[in-house]
């Protein structure tokens, strides 16, 4: 005998939790089943080492929808975010570096040390990137996303390479490369590959700090978002259960209800089931693909979702000492995203090398440290350095053996140590998420951080719809519009659809 709910959410990632909160506030009896003992999926914090709160996967925040913060009253449940300032720091091997933030005069001083003409070019780039981001933002929460609703000139730009977009504005190699990284995050494409301008636009689409495209940190680490949403969901009456892996979702008895079966033998039924799992897990593993249209199954199998990103989290005894800006006392550049991206060719080579050799020899790195602005995350005097690195494809020939994992960490640490030579000696502990670990620990098949590429062909109406071909099954994770990043929007869109259908059925 299986217990009955109005709605069951499979997966307690931040989107599943957002869906549950909206459903419960809409009056539904809701159960969330999360396979991991930790809630939040890729939006989680863990005590990786005693006394440290580590944002295991996602680290910085911009796209979390301010409408969701207001509607779910998340500030009352502990949500608080603050802007990252300065925004970026890119050291070079010759001892020069570029530090950019929100202060126009300081940006001008930094850029003119390389090329006076790029001061105006950078301002123009920022205006144009914000315009792209604002256009994406305007459609983030659309119930029926359609590229036809996007400004035609901007839609055309989505198809172009991020390098060609940036080269229209600035010429300084390190500035070009620093700006290009937003077009590459999570994506198995190089800066000269078409479509990467959309990835850049996506990373400028956030408005959590009121300013288009600004990024920042969540107080207490990224898991604090999921914690606040879970608290709001529970306060509205949702049951949220961790360590509850779902094995199958099926319509079994012609009752119009779906049955969800768990690894512990329990089973539950509901008129609506919302899957927070990625498309491949949802349709090929949890559902019986034979019960779905072959054309739909072919689309799922053809979905581009090979992860290429590695996250290395390090416990440090002191701050990295950059040759370009020496010192281990906290300085502005320690608060910024540290890019290892000297020029666009370096980034393209990192990509091309992975395609031909299975991994980047000299990877693109984005490094973050929240401890200089939130010391509560580590024991006194200690720091956490998160390194997000590409390209390390999921399907590498090594199948991510322990040796391959250690080799990748070595490559990443050695690459950063060329710019901050004290790095190897100050590492006190480490943890790594390869694409294979993202699959095993976070539960995303193929380890793609966005549940599938955010390139043209997989954006807007070309992501999976929230209403799936199996009646009563909705997709509420990043496989649906607007895709990956910590937005909460797939969860909100799916809950709205499920609530509308539940009401229509009464
Ligand atoms: C390493 C990394 C770094 C990132 N950095 C950033 C960043 O800094 N900023 C940003 O905005 N975005 C970042 N992202 C992307 C962002 O974190 C994700 O796009 C987003 O968190 C996905 O949320 P989701 O709720 O859609 O899915 P997920 O977080 O994948 O959640 C899905 C949940 O479903 C659960 N599940 C799956 N199968 C089952 C099952 N059978 N039974 C029960 N539960 C199941 C999983 O365990 C998981 O908890 C990063 C992602 C990764 C992996």
| Distance in Å, CA 369 to ligand 1 centroid | 21
Q: Is it the case that residue 506 has pLDDT exceeding 80?
A: no
State the pLDDT at residue 32. 98
Choice from 13, 16, 65, 182 to test ligand 1 binding pocket (greatest atom count within 8 A of CB): 13
Q: Residues of 216-227 as b/e, b for ≥16 C-beta within 10 angstroms?
A: bbbbbbbbbbbb
| Distance in Å, CA 449 to ligand 1 centroid | 7
Nearest to 172 by CA among 86, 85, 84, 100: 100
Return all residues near 500 (Cβ < 8 A) that are at least 6 apart.
Answer: none
| Measured CA distances, 353 to 64, 342, 377, 415, 500 (Å) | 34, 16, 36, 15, 48
* Helix or strand holding residue 272 (H, E): strand 267-275
CB 129 within 8 A of CB 211: no
Write out pLDDT tens, residues 416-463.
999 999 999 999 999 999 999 999 999 999 999 999 999 999 999 999
What are the backbone angles phi and psi of residue 74, rounded to the nearest 5°? -70, -25
Residue 393: pLDDT band (50, 70, 90) is very high
- Is 3.90.660 the CATH classification of the domain at 85-114+310-391+393-433? yes
Ligand 1 atom nearest 286 alpha carbon: 41
CB 328 within 8 A of CB 318: yes
Which residues are registered as beta bridge partners of 473?
A: 273
| Measured CA distances, 145 to 27, 149, 294, 342, 451 (Å) | 26, 8, 24, 37, 18
Domain 3-44+62-79+220-303+445-505 is of which CATH architecture? 3-Layer(bba) Sandwich (3.50)
CB 500 within 8 A of CB 493: no
Return all residues near 282 (Cβ < 8 A) that are at least 6 apart.
Answer: 10, 249, 275, 468, 473, 475, 477, 479
Write out pLDDT tens, residues 97-106.
999 999 999 9
State the pLDDT at residue 332. 97
Q: Is it the case that residue 91 has pLDDT exceeding 50?
A: yes
Three-class SS string for 120-154? Answer: HHHHHHHHHHHHHHHHHHHHCCCCCCCHHHCCHHH
- Using CB distances shorter than 6 Å, the residues near ligand 1 are 10-16, 33-36, 41-43, 57-60, 63, 245-246, 276-277, 281, 286, 309, 311, 388, 433, 438, 442-444, 449-451, 477-478, 484-486, 490
Residues 16-21 have a mean pLDDT of 99
C-alpha span between 462 and 477 (Å, rounded): 15
Among protein residues, the one whose CA lies closest to atom 41 of ligand 1: 246
State the pLDDT at residue 2. 61
Choice from 9, 10, 11 to test ligand 1 binding pocket (greatest atom count within 8 A of CB): 11
- Residue 342's SS3 state is coil
| Distance in Å, CA 454 to ligand 1 centroid | 15
CB 245 within 8 A of CB 263: yes
State the pLDDT at residue 97. 98
| Distance in Å, CA 276 to ligand 1 centroid | 9
Among protein residues, the one whose CA lies closest to atom 30 of ligand 1: 41
| Distance in Å, CA 31 to ligand 1 centroid | 19
Residues 278-293 have a mean pLDDT of 97
Return all residues near 352 (Cβ < 8 A) that are at least 6 apart.
Answer: 190
C-alpha span between 477 and 472 (Å, rounded): 16
What are the backbone angles phi and psi of residue 112, rounded to the nearest 5°? -70, -15
Q: Residue 391: is the preceding peptide bond cis (ω within 30°)?
A: yes
Residues 393-420 have a mean pLDDT of 95
Ligand 1 atom nearest 490 alpha carbon: 26
Residue in this structure with the two tokens 């109406």, named with its chain if needed: 461
Write out pLDDT tens, residues 184-228.
999 999 999 999 999 999 999 999 999 999 999 999 999 999 999
Alpha-carbon Rg for the chain in angstroms = 22
Can you point out the beta strands (E) in 2-118? 3-10, 30-33, 45-46, 54-55, 81-83, 88-91, 97-100
| Distance in Å, CA 58 to ligand 1 centroid | 8
User: Taking the domains of the chain in order of start, what are their residue ranges?
Assistant: 3-44+62-79+220-303+445-505, 85-114+310-391+393-433, 126-169+177-214
Nearest to 185 by CA among 408, 453, 405, 447: 453
State the pLDDT at residue 176. 98
At residue 351's C-alpha, the angle toward residues 347 and 353, to 5°, is 115
Ligand 1 atom nearest 38 alpha carbon: 49
Q: Residue 482: is the preceding peptide bond cis (ω within 30°)?
A: yes
Ligand 1 atom nearest 486 alpha carbon: 11
State the pLDDT at residue 1. 47
| Distance in Å, CA 42 to ligand 1 centroid | 3
Among protein residues, the one whose CA lies closest to atom 7 of ligand 1: 58
Ligand 1 atom nearest 285 alpha carbon: 41
Write out pLDDT tens, residues 308-358.
999 999 999 999 999 999 999 999 999 999 999 999 999 999 999 999 999
- Count CB neighbours of 75 within 10 A: 12
| Distance in Å, CA 153 to ligand 1 centroid | 32
| Distance in Å, CA 381 to ligand 1 centroid | 31
* Helix or strand holding residue 387 (H, E): strand 383-390
CB 42 within 8 A of CB 226: no
| Distance in Å, CA 13 to ligand 1 centroid | 6
């Amino acid at each position: 005998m299986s217990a009955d709910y109005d709605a069951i959410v499979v997966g307690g990632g931040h989107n599943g939790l957002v869906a549950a909160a909206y459903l419960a506030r809409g009056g539904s009896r809701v159960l969330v089943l999360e396979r991991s003992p930790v809630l939040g999926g890729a939006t989680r914090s863990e005590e990786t080492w005693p006394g440290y709160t580590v944002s295991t996967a996602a680290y910085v925040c911009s796209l979390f929808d301010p409408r969701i913060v207001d509607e779910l009253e998340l500030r009352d449940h502990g949500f608080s975010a603050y802007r990252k300032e300065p925004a970026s720091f890119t050291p070079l091997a010759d001892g020069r570096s570029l530090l950019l933030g929100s202060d126009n005069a300081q940006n001008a001083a930094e850029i003119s040390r390389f090329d006076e003409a790029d001061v105006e070019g950078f301002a123009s780039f920022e205006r144009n990137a914000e315009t792209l981001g604002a256009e994406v933002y305007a459609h983030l929460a659309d119930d029926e996303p359609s590229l036809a609703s996007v400004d035609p000139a901007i839609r055309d730009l989505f198809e172009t390479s991020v390098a060609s977009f940036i080269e229209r504005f600035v010429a300084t190699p390190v500035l070009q490369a620093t700006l290009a990284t937003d077009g590459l995050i999570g994506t198995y494409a190089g800066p000269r590959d078409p479509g990467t301008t959309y990835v850049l636009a996506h990373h400028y689409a956030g408005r959590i700090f009121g300013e288009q495209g600004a990024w920042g940190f969540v107080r207490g680490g990224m898991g604090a978002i999921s914690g606040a949403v879970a608290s709001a969901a529970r306060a509205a009456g949702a049951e949220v259960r961790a360590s509850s892996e779902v094995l199958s979702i099926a319509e079994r008895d012609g009752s119009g209800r779906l049955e969800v079966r768990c690894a512990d033998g329990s089973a539950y039924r509901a008129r609506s089931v919302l899957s927070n799992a990625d498309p491949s897990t949802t349709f090929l593993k949890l559902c019986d693909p034979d019960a779905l249209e072959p054309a739909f199954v072919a689309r799922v199998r053809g979905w581009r979702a090979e992860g290429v990103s590695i996250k290395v989290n390090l416990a440090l005894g002191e701050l990295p000492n950059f040759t370009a800006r020496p010192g281990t006392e906290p300085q502005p550049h320690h608060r910024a995203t540290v890019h290892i991206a000297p020029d666009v060719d370096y980034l393209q080579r990192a990509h091309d090398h992975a395609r031909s050799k299975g991994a980047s020899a000299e990877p693109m790195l984005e490094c973050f440290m929240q401890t200089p602005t939130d010391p509560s995350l580590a024991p006194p005097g200690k720091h956490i350095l998160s390194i997000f690195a590409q390209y390390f494809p999921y399907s590498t020939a090594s199948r991510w053996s322990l040796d391959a994992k250690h080799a990748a960490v070595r490559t990443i640490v050695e690459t950063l140590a060329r710019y901050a030579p004290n790095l190897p000696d100050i590492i006190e502990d480490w943890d790594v998420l390869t694409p294979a670990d993202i699959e095993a620990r976070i539960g995303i098949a193929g380890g793609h951080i966005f549940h599938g590429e955010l390139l043209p062909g997989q954006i807007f109406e070309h992501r999976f719809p929230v209403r799936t071909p199996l009646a009563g099954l909705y997709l509420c994770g990043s496989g649906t519009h607007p895709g990956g990043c910590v937005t909460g929007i797939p969860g909100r869109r799916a809950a709205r659809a499920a609530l509308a259908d539940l009401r229509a059925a009464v």
